[in-house]
Protein backbone atom coordinates (compact mmCIF):
# COMPACT_ATOMS: atom_id res chain seq x y z
CA UNK A 1 0.00 0.00 0.00
CA UNK A 2 1.41 3.38 -1.00
CA UNK A 3 2.32 5.69 1.86
CA UNK A 4 1.59 9.41 2.16
CA UNK A 5 4.09 11.66 0.42
CA UNK A 6 7.08 12.86 2.43
CA UNK A 7 9.15 15.92 1.46
CA UNK A 8 12.92 15.78 1.95
CA UNK A 9 14.61 19.13 1.23
CA UNK A 10 18.17 18.69 -0.02
CA UNK A 11 20.57 20.86 1.93
CA UNK A 12 22.81 20.94 -1.16
CA UNK A 13 20.73 23.99 -2.14
CA UNK A 14 20.92 25.62 1.29
CA UNK A 15 23.11 28.55 2.30
CA UNK A 16 26.23 26.72 3.53
CA UNK A 17 27.39 29.80 5.44
CA UNK A 18 24.41 29.33 7.80
CA UNK A 19 23.69 25.63 7.48
CA UNK A 20 22.47 25.06 11.03
CA UNK A 21 19.94 27.90 10.69
CA UNK A 22 18.82 26.54 7.32
CA UNK A 23 18.19 23.10 8.77
CA UNK A 24 16.15 24.60 11.61
CA UNK A 25 14.20 26.70 9.11
CA UNK A 26 13.18 23.77 6.87
CA UNK A 27 12.30 21.74 9.95
CA UNK A 28 9.98 24.51 11.13
CA UNK A 29 8.61 24.88 7.59
CA UNK A 30 7.34 21.31 7.58
CA UNK A 31 10.07 19.11 6.09
CA UNK A 32 9.59 15.42 6.84
CA UNK A 33 13.22 14.40 6.34
CA UNK A 34 16.49 16.26 5.84
CA UNK A 35 18.20 15.03 2.66
CA UNK A 36 22.00 15.14 2.73
CA UNK A 37 23.87 14.72 -0.57
CA UNK A 38 27.41 13.44 -0.08
CA UNK A 39 29.67 13.68 -3.15
CA UNK A 40 33.32 12.82 -3.53
CA UNK A 41 34.42 14.29 -6.86
CA UNK A 42 35.17 10.77 -8.05
CA UNK A 43 31.94 8.79 -8.24
CA UNK A 44 30.18 12.00 -9.28
CA UNK A 45 31.69 15.20 -10.71
CA UNK A 46 31.25 17.35 -7.62
CA UNK A 47 32.39 17.52 -3.99
CA UNK A 48 30.05 18.39 -1.12
CA UNK A 49 30.32 17.41 2.54
CA UNK A 50 31.54 14.66 4.86
CA UNK A 51 30.62 13.07 8.20
CA UNK A 52 31.89 16.04 10.23
CA UNK A 53 29.30 18.36 8.68
CA UNK A 54 26.52 15.81 9.21
CA UNK A 55 27.54 15.56 12.86
CA UNK A 56 27.64 19.36 13.18
CA UNK A 57 24.08 19.88 11.92
CA UNK A 58 22.59 16.87 13.70
CA UNK A 59 21.73 18.85 16.89
CA UNK A 60 19.72 21.39 14.89
CA UNK A 61 16.75 19.08 14.20
CA UNK A 62 15.12 15.88 15.35
CA UNK A 63 13.89 15.11 11.83
CA UNK A 64 15.37 11.98 10.20
CA UNK A 65 18.58 12.47 8.25
CA UNK A 66 18.28 10.89 4.80
CA UNK A 67 21.91 10.56 3.68
CA UNK A 68 22.63 9.82 0.02
CA UNK A 69 26.20 8.61 -0.47
CA UNK A 70 27.55 9.36 -3.96
CA UNK A 71 31.02 8.11 -3.14
CA UNK A 72 33.20 5.19 -4.22
CA UNK A 73 34.30 3.04 -2.61
CA UNK A 74 31.37 3.51 -0.25
CA UNK A 75 31.92 0.73 2.30
CA UNK A 76 34.77 2.37 4.27
CA UNK A 77 32.52 5.36 5.11
CA UNK A 78 29.26 3.68 6.12
CA UNK A 79 30.15 3.54 9.82
CA UNK A 80 31.29 7.17 9.91
CA UNK A 81 28.02 8.49 8.51
CA UNK A 82 26.02 6.22 10.82
CA UNK A 83 27.98 7.56 13.80
CA UNK A 84 27.49 11.14 12.58
CA UNK A 85 23.71 10.84 12.85
CA UNK A 86 22.33 9.41 9.60
CA UNK A 87 18.97 7.65 9.97
CA UNK A 88 18.72 6.34 6.41
CA UNK A 89 21.80 5.64 4.29
CA UNK A 90 21.34 5.17 0.56
CA UNK A 91 24.05 3.74 -1.69
CA UNK A 92 24.59 3.06 -5.38
CA UNK A 93 25.12 -0.52 -6.61
CA UNK A 94 28.02 0.77 -8.72
CA UNK A 95 29.82 2.25 -5.68
CA UNK A 96 31.11 -1.00 -4.23
CA UNK A 97 31.77 -4.59 -5.25
CA UNK A 98 29.11 -6.18 -3.01
CA UNK A 99 25.92 -4.12 -2.73
CA UNK A 100 24.13 -6.77 -0.68
CA UNK A 101 26.91 -6.77 1.91
CA UNK A 102 26.78 -2.98 2.04
CA UNK A 103 23.03 -2.99 2.69
CA UNK A 104 23.51 -5.62 5.40
CA UNK A 105 26.11 -3.44 7.09
CA UNK A 106 23.81 -0.42 7.11
CA UNK A 107 21.07 -2.44 8.80
CA UNK A 108 23.54 -3.98 11.24
CA UNK A 109 24.33 -0.45 12.40
CA UNK A 110 20.63 0.08 13.18
CA UNK A 111 20.01 2.36 10.19
CA UNK A 112 17.49 2.21 7.37
CA UNK A 113 19.06 0.95 4.17
CA UNK A 114 18.44 2.36 0.71
CA UNK A 115 19.57 1.61 -2.82
CA UNK A 116 19.88 4.32 -5.50
CA UNK A 117 19.23 3.76 -9.20
CA UNK A 118 20.86 6.21 -11.62
CA UNK A 119 19.00 7.07 -14.84
CA UNK A 120 20.92 4.35 -16.69
CA UNK A 121 20.53 1.70 -13.95
CA UNK A 122 17.61 -0.67 -14.66
CA UNK A 123 14.96 -1.53 -12.10
CA UNK A 124 15.99 -5.20 -12.54
CA UNK A 125 18.92 -4.31 -10.25
CA UNK A 126 16.38 -4.79 -7.45
CA UNK A 127 15.69 -8.44 -8.32
CA UNK A 128 17.73 -9.80 -5.43
CA UNK A 129 17.85 -6.71 -3.22
CA UNK A 130 14.25 -5.64 -2.68
CA UNK A 131 13.88 -7.62 0.57
CA UNK A 132 16.97 -5.95 2.01
CA UNK A 133 16.03 -2.30 1.57
CA UNK A 134 13.83 0.17 3.39
CA UNK A 135 13.98 2.73 0.58
CA UNK A 136 14.52 2.81 -3.18
CA UNK A 137 15.74 6.12 -4.60
CA UNK A 138 15.22 6.80 -8.30
CA UNK A 139 17.48 9.50 -9.70
CA UNK A 140 15.53 11.57 -12.21
CA UNK A 141 18.72 13.44 -13.14
CA UNK A 142 22.30 12.25 -13.41
CA UNK A 143 23.78 12.63 -9.93
CA UNK A 144 26.32 15.27 -9.06
CA UNK A 145 24.67 18.68 -9.36
CA UNK A 146 21.52 20.42 -8.19
CA UNK A 147 19.18 22.36 -10.45
CA UNK A 148 19.07 19.87 -13.34
CA UNK A 149 16.05 19.16 -15.52
CA UNK A 150 13.81 16.16 -14.72
CA UNK A 151 14.35 13.19 -17.07
CA UNK A 152 10.88 12.14 -18.20
CA UNK A 153 11.94 8.60 -19.08
CA UNK A 154 12.43 7.82 -15.39
CA UNK A 155 8.65 7.86 -14.85
CA UNK A 156 8.43 4.38 -16.40
CA UNK A 157 11.05 3.15 -13.95
CA UNK A 158 9.15 4.66 -11.01
CA UNK A 159 5.98 2.87 -12.16
CA UNK A 160 7.83 -0.44 -12.49
CA UNK A 161 9.41 -0.12 -9.04
CA UNK A 162 6.05 0.80 -7.50
CA UNK A 163 4.71 -2.54 -8.72
CA UNK A 164 7.75 -4.37 -7.33
CA UNK A 165 7.35 -2.73 -3.92
CA UNK A 166 3.62 -3.38 -3.74
CA UNK A 167 4.23 -7.03 -4.59
CA UNK A 168 6.46 -7.42 -1.52
CA UNK A 169 3.80 -6.22 0.90
CA UNK A 170 6.51 -4.29 2.77
CA UNK A 171 6.51 -0.59 3.66
CA UNK A 172 9.40 0.38 1.40
CA UNK A 173 9.75 4.07 0.56
CA UNK A 174 9.96 5.00 -3.12
CA UNK A 175 11.86 8.25 -3.35
CA UNK A 176 12.58 10.42 -6.40
CA UNK A 177 15.40 12.95 -6.59
CA UNK A 178 16.23 15.39 -9.38
CA UNK A 179 14.39 18.25 -11.03
CA UNK A 180 11.49 18.02 -8.57
CA UNK A 181 9.32 21.15 -8.59
CA UNK A 182 5.65 22.12 -8.65
CA UNK A 183 5.28 20.77 -12.19
CA UNK A 184 7.22 17.50 -11.93
CA UNK A 185 6.21 16.55 -8.37
CA UNK A 186 2.64 15.50 -9.31
CA UNK A 187 3.98 13.41 -12.19
CA UNK A 188 6.41 11.57 -9.93
CA UNK A 189 3.67 11.00 -7.37
CA UNK A 190 1.25 9.75 -10.02
CA UNK A 191 3.90 7.24 -11.13
CA UNK A 192 4.16 5.89 -7.59
CA UNK A 193 6.64 7.98 -5.62
CA UNK A 194 5.88 8.56 -1.95
CA UNK A 195 8.96 10.60 -1.03
CA UNK A 196 10.36 13.57 -2.93
CA UNK A 197 13.78 15.18 -2.66
CA UNK A 198 13.71 18.86 -3.58
CA UNK A 199 16.60 21.26 -3.31
CA UNK A 200 16.12 24.30 -5.51
CA UNK A 201 12.33 24.12 -5.26
CA UNK A 202 12.47 24.12 -1.45
CA UNK A 203 15.14 26.72 -0.79
CA UNK A 204 14.23 29.33 -3.42
CA UNK A 205 12.94 32.60 -2.01
CA UNK A 206 14.69 32.34 1.33
CA UNK A 207 13.43 31.13 4.73
CA UNK A 208 10.19 33.09 4.54
CA UNK A 209 9.21 31.03 1.49
CA UNK A 210 10.18 27.55 2.72
CA UNK A 211 6.81 26.64 4.23
CA UNK A 212 4.93 27.66 1.09
CA UNK A 213 7.43 25.81 -1.10
CA UNK A 214 7.08 22.60 0.90
CA UNK A 215 3.29 22.96 1.01
CA UNK A 216 3.18 23.36 -2.78
CA UNK A 217 5.21 20.19 -3.32
CA UNK A 218 3.09 18.24 -0.85
CA UNK A 219 -0.05 19.68 -2.43
CA UNK A 220 0.87 17.88 -5.61
CA UNK A 221 -0.87 14.90 -4.05
Residue numbers belonging to the annotated binding site:
10, 35, 37, 68, 144-147, 177-179
DSSP code at position 167: H
Reduced to 3 states, what is the DSSP secondary structure of residue 98?
coil
Reduced to 3 states, what is the DSSP secondary structure of residue 14?
coil
Residue stretches of the annotated binding site for substrate: 10, 68, 144-147, 177-179
Judge contact between 119 and 151, C-beta under 8 A.
yes
- Measured CA to CA, the distance from residue 141 to residue 177 in angstroms comes to 7
Q: Which of 66, 123, 177, 181 is catalytic?
A: 177
Residue stretches of the annotated binding site for a divalent metal cation: 35, 37, 68, 177
Q: Which of 32, 37, 66, 123 is catalytic?
A: 37
194 is annotated as an active-site residue: no
177 is annotated as an active-site residue: yes
- Measured CA to CA, the distance from residue 178 to residue 187 in angstroms comes to 13
- Measured CA to CA, the distance from residue 142 to residue 176 in angstroms comes to 12
- Give catalytic residues, as residue numbers: 37, 177
Amino acid sequence: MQQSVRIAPSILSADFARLGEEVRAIDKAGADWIHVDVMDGHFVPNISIGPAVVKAIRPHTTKPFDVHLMIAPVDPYIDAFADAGADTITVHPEAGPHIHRTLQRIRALGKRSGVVLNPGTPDSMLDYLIDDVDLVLVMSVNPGFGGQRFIDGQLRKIEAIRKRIDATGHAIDLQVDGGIDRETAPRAIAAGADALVAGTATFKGGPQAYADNIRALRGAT
